[in-house]
């Protein structure tokens, strides 16, 4: 049986459906299992990655785990997983760990700490390192729906937006094909795009014009103060600035794992049109 952690997340949701459709036994874990909506017949369990007391019951009878990167009690988790006889862990990490100084980057550190703990354990570990999720564009949904400008400090910053379905399908591939066990895979979308290009594609899909308000770093931090701690905001701003006007390298790993090219950002925008429209 495969345990899916972070069961309410988009990747976990898609992965659960893929595994269930393939006829594989799945258990979905969440800190709030009553809010899960898995396919009929899929088992759910309370699993809070910040509460080791929930680990034994969630891991009982499990052979493989799809793990979200939560560093708080990762050593406890690896110990419980080893005792439970887990054969394989697939970690959803981040390509930020491949940066020049990940230990000083708060966006990378939590993922790096989990990677190190798993690789130091006796568990067979496969690591997926997606770049920028296309779903990060969801942060623009509120102003777009309200007909207001999207505030951007670096509208020309590039990233490699990847559809959550591609990440889920890559996870399905490495969970079910032993040839990939123990590998480390960097996942990206098919194209490097600026924020402005992504907004233009959302506008084209929704049929509604979207304007951009080019703000300063400090203005953006003030706008986000209620939603994002200052050190994370600074890390994001630094990353965007470092990619301002500089295309991000992309990989063909999604295609190599799944057999199809990574979905373009326009597909993600079309799949999420309702998020950006009022009707």
For residue range 232-277, list pLDDT tens digits in order. Answer: 899 899 999 999 999 999 999 999 999 999 999 999 999 999 999 9
**Per-residue confidence (pLDDT) for residue 103, from 0 to 100:** 86
Name the band, by pLDDT with cuts 50, 70 and 90, for residue 227.
confident
Name the band, by pLDDT with cuts 50, 70 and 90, for residue 1.
very high
Q: What is the 3-state secondary structure (H, E, C) of 53-100?
A: HHHHHHHCCCCEEEEECCCCCHHHHHHHHHHCCCCEEEEECCHHHHCC
Cβ neighbours for 75, distance < 8 A, ≥ 6 positions apart? 117
| Beta-bridge partners for 194 | 158
Percent of the chain past pLDDT 70, that is, above it, reads: 100
**Per-residue confidence (pLDDT) for residue 100, from 0 to 100:** 85
Cα–Cα distance for residue pair 94/223, rounded to 1 Å: 26
Residue 28 has pLDDT above 80, yes or no: yes
3-state helix, strand, coil in the chain (%, to 5): 50, 15, 35
- In the structure encoding, which two tokens stand for residue 12, read together? 């976990």
Higher-scoring residue by pLDDT: 231, 151: 151
Percent of the chain past pLDDT 90, that is, above it, reads: 92
- Is the CATH number 3.40.50.720 carried by domain 2-130? yes
Cα–Cα distance for residue pair 20/81, rounded to 1 Å: 22
Name the band, by pLDDT with cuts 50, 70 and 90, for residue 31.
very high
Name the band, by pLDDT with cuts 50, 70 and 90, for residue 219.
very high
pLDDT (tens digit, 9 = 90+) per residue, 95-153? 999 988 888 888 899 999 999 999 999 999 999 999 999 999 999 999 999 999 999 99
Q: What is the pTM of this model?
A: 0.95
Residue 30 has pLDDT above 80, yes or no: yes
pLDDT (tens digit, 9 = 90+) per residue, 159-176? 999 999 999 999 999 999
C-alpha torsion angle, residues 126, 173, 186, 188 (rounded to 10): -150
**Per-residue confidence (pLDDT) for residue 279, from 0 to 100:** 67
Mark out the alpha helices in the chain (DSSP H runs): 10-21, 55-59, 74-83, 106-120, 141-145, 164-176, 195-206, 217-224, 230-242, 253-258, 265-271
Average pLDDT, the chain: 95
């Amino acid at each position: 049986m495969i345990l899916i952690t972070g069961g309410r997340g988009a990747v976990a949701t898609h992965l659960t459906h893929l595994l269930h459709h393939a006829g594989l036994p799945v258990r979905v874990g969440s800190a709030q299992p009553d809010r899960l909506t898995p396919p009929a017949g899929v088992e759910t369990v309370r699993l809070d990655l910040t509460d080791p007391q929930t680990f034994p019951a969630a891991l009982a009878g499990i052979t493989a785990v799809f793990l979200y990167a939560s560093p708080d009690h990762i050593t406890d988790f690896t110990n419980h997983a080893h005792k439970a006889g887990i054969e394989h862990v697939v970690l959803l990490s981040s390509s930020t760990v491949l940066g020049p100084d990940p230990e000083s980057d708060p966006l990378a550190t939590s993922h790096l700490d989990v990677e190190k703990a798993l690789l130091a354990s006796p568990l067979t570990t496969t690591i997926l390192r997606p770049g920028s999720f296309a779903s990060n564009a969801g942060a623009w949904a509120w102003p777009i729906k309200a007909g207001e400008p999207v505030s951007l400090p670096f509208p020309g910053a590039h990233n490699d937006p990847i559809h959550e379905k591609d990440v889920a399908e890559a996870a399905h591939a490495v969970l079910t094909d032993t040839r990939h066990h123990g590998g480390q895979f960097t996942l990206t979308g098919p194209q490097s795009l600026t924020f402005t290009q992504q907004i233009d594609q959302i506008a084209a899909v929704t049929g509604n014009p979207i304007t951009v308000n080019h703000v300063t770093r400090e203005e953006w931090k003030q706008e986000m103060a209620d939603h994002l701690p200052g050190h994370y905001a600074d890390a994001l701003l630094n990353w965007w600035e470092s990619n301002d006007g500089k295309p991000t390298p992309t990989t063909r790993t999604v295609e190599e794992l799944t057999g199809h090219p990574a979905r373009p950002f326009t597909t993600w925008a079309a799949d999420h049109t309702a998020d950006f429209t009022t009707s």
